[in-house]
């Protein structure tokens, strides 16, 4: 079933709508710019950990954008067909850094440390991703749907929205708060105060906010007001010095290596990514004016994410998953068009290959990204909380489950950050009385560390366990109202079903 009339009234362009090409290009560029900060941050973190040479990093970053573009096209066309962008996952970053740390500490002979680490990372992602393919296409996630009440989904979506509240682009003590504030105020001004006055402001608040802040930052940088080492500096000279084209192709770094211990660690990252994606699917469905995703749609979504993770490993990146940032953009603009997201995906691929474009986008300074995060992720928090309308909020049971899930999703990752890295955590577990040998094993320690470091995974697991074990009626938990508003499996048509239908139509003609 589609969403209610109020939800549909918010949507300017629905999933099946195709705005005019010129408008779609700008809306697609807006989606691209929305995800650019995170999709640059992940490869830069990995490159720094590996000790990758500066000359190689632009090509490495470009590969991430090519993979993101292709994965987005695959998901929107062959996967769950939601208007949902795919990008580099933070949920797989912890096991990736663990792999890199081990390999760079003892690199094999005959190969430089950064390349050896990257090849091990590729191998771990490829093998672990096959498990995600199986989990998806065997329908395991879809079968969980009847256990996923709004009491479970709300904490997951809210914690997705809160996942970057402590991002360095927002909280760094030396941050350029004027630029952060300008970006945020501009987006709020265009989307909330001026949106009703002009379609331009309503449809392009993010794009306009970024452009206004970037032009000001560039002008202050050229005039010397913002120095090269100061937050907010725009390095225009780097654009001219960029490589015209990046050669990006499968196995460009060499043949991947597979180490079982690394694969097991990466499986924990895959599990955290799946939990996050389930929350993303529910959030984008709500913003697009649709009912909760059917089990069939979830099956094809997670299955395709697995396929694209295999592809990302082949290409030599750090994985691929649904991107929460762009869900926030849908919430601000009301543009839920699949076609627009596909235009944005084409831009990602273009920018990945063309060095000049990629470097121009890379000049967007951290404070602008920080302002963008506040606007986007706050929107996702609101979307998560809006699902409480299905739940009986007079029930002390529901209040308890939601509250403890949210608190756990914030506190446990913070505790693990204070412990340090995965190695320190493993050592601490190994010293536990009686259970030390079991808890200190690589498989157990790495799995607990990765999942425990991911807030939405922690909150989702806690909420799932409590909601399905504490007595409560279906109506009380929101399942009854949600099922009435959810789409049926028959409403989702897979790529294979569409192909068969077209073949039958062709034969009948």
pLDDT > 60? residue 1: no
What would the two tokens of residue 180 be?
């952060």
Tens digits of per-residue pLDDT, 452-507?
888 888 999 999 999 999 999 999 999 998 888 788 888 888 877 888 777 777 77
Q: List pLDDT tens digits, range 98-110.
A: 888 888 888 888 8
What is the band of 121 on the pLDDT scale with cuts at 50, 70, 90? very high
- Residue carrying the six token digits 């040998």: 437
Q: Give the span between the Cα atoms of 27 and 377, in whole angstroms.
A: 19
Let me know: does 499 contact 446? Beta carbons within 8 Å: no
In the prediction, which pLDDT does 396 show? 96
- At 2 the pLDDT is 45
What was the pLDDT predicted at 7? 52
- Mean pLDDT over residues 257-269, rounded? 86
Quick check: helix, strand or coil at residue 334?
coil
Q: Check if the beta carbon of residue 34 is closer than 8 Å to that of residue 206.
A: yes
pLDDT number for residue 209 = 93
What number of other Cβ atoms are within 10 A of residue 17's Cβ? 16
| C-alpha–C-alpha distance, residues 122 and 67, integer Å | 13
Q: What is the mean pLDDT of residues 40-69?
A: 89
pLDDT score, position 225? 94
Q: How far is CA 140 from CA 264, 274, 290, 421, in A?
A: 19, 11, 23, 32
Average pLDDT over residues 290-313: 94
Which burial class, exposed, middle or buried, applies to 382 when counting CB atoms under 10 A from its CB (0-12, 13-18, 19+)? middle
Q: Which two tokens stand for residue 142?
A: 């879809």
Q: What average pLDDT score do residues 265-284 get?
A: 88
Instruction: Read off the pLDDT of residues 438-453 as tens digits, 9 standing for 90 and up.
Output: 888 877 887 788 788 8
Predicted local confidence at residue 378, as pLDDT: 87
- CA–CA distance, 73 with 68 (Å, rounded to integer): 9
Q: What is the mean pLDDT of residues 226-233?
A: 93
Closest residue by Cα to residue 329 from 201, 427, 203 = 203
What share of the chain in percent tops pLDDT 70? 98
pLDDT in tens, 144-194: 888 989 999 999 999 988 887 888 888 888 889 999 999 999 999 999 999
Report how far residue 478's alpha carbon sits from residue 148's, in angstroms, rounded to the nearest whole number: 10
Cα separation, 65 vs 58, in Å, equals: 11
Query: 8 pLDDT band (50/70/90 cuts)?
Result: low
Q: Is the pLDDT score of 431 beyond 70? A: yes
Strand spans (E) along 148-287: none
Residue 212 contacts by C-beta under 8 Å, 6 or more apart in sequence? 182, 186
Q: Report the percentage of the chain scoring pLDDT > 90.
A: 49
Distances (CA, A) of 134 to 128, 190, 341: 10, 44, 27
Q: What are 194-211's pLDDT values in tens digits?
A: 988 888 898 999 999 999
Cα 422 from Cα 443, distance rounded (Å) = 12
pLDDT for residue 269: 85
Q: Can you tell me the mean pLDDT for 9-32? A: 90
Instruction: Out of 245-259, 326-340, 433-447, pick the least confident.
Output: 433-447
Residue 509 has a pLDDT of 67
Residue 94: pLDDT band (50, 70, 90) is confident
Which residue is listed with tokens 């945020």?
A: 184
């Amino acid at each position: 079933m589609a969403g209610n009339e109020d939800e549909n009234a918010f949507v300017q362009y629905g999933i099946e709508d195709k705005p005019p090409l010129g408008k779609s290009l700008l809306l697609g560029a807006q989606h691209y710019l929305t995800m650019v900060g995170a999709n640059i941050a992940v490869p830069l973190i990995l490159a720094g950990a590996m000790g990758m040479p500066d000359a190689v990093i632009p090509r490495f970053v470009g590969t991430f954008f090519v993979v993101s573009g292709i994965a987005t096209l695959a998901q929107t066309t062959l996967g769950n067909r939601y208007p949902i962008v795919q990008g580099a996952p933070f949920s797989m970053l912890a096991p990736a850094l663990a792999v890199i740390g081990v390999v760079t500490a003892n690199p094999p002979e005959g190969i430089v440390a950064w390349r050896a680490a990257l090849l091990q990372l590729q191998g771990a992602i490829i093998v672990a991703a096959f498990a995600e393919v199986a989990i998806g296409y065997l329908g395991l996630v879809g079968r969980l749907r009847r256990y996923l009440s709004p009491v479970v989904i709300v904490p997951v979506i809210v914690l997705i929205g809160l996942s970057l509240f402590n991002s360095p682009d927002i909280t760094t003590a030396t941050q350029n708060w004027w630029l952060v504030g300008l970006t945020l105020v501009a987006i709020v001004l265009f989307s909330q105060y001026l949106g009703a006055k002009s379609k331009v402001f309503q449809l392009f608040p993010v794009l306009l906010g970024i452009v206004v802040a970037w032009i000001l930052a560039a002008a202050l940088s050229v005039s010397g007001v913002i120095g090269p080492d100061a937050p907010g500096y725009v390095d225009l000279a780097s654009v001219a010095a960029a490589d015209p084209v990046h050669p990006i192709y499968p196995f460009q770094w060499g043949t991947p290596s597979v180490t079982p211990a690394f694969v097991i660690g990466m499986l924990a990252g895959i599990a955290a990514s799946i939990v996050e994606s389930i929350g993303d699917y529910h959030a984008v469905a709500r913003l697009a004016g649709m009912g909760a995703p059917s089990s069939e749609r979830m099956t094809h979504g997670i299955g395709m994410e697995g396929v694209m993770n295999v592809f990302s490993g082949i290409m030599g990146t750090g994985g691929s998953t649904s991107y929460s940032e762009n869900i926030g953009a849908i919430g601000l603009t009301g543009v839920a068009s699949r076609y627009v997201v596909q235009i944005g995906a084409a831009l990602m691929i273009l920018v990945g290959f063309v060095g000049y474009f990629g470097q121009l986008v890379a000049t967007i300074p951290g404070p602008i990204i920080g302002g963008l995060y506040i606007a986007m992720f706050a929107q996702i928090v609101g979307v998560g909380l809006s699902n409480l309308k299905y739940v009986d909020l007079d029930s002390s049971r529901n209040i308890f489950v939601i509250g403890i899930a949210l608190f756990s999703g914030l506190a446990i990752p913070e505790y693990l950050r204070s412990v340090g890295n995965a190695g320190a955590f493993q050592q601490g577990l190994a010293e536990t009385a009686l259970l030390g040998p079991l808890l200190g094993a690589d498989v157990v320690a790495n799995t607990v560390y990765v999942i425990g470091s991911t807030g939405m995974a922690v909150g989702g697991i806690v909420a799932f366990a409590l909601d399905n074990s504490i007595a409560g009626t279906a109506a009380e938990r929101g399942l009854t109202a949600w099922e009435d508003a959810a789409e049926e499996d028959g409403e989702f048509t897979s790529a294979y079903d569409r192909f068969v239908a077209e073949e039958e139509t062709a034969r009948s003609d």
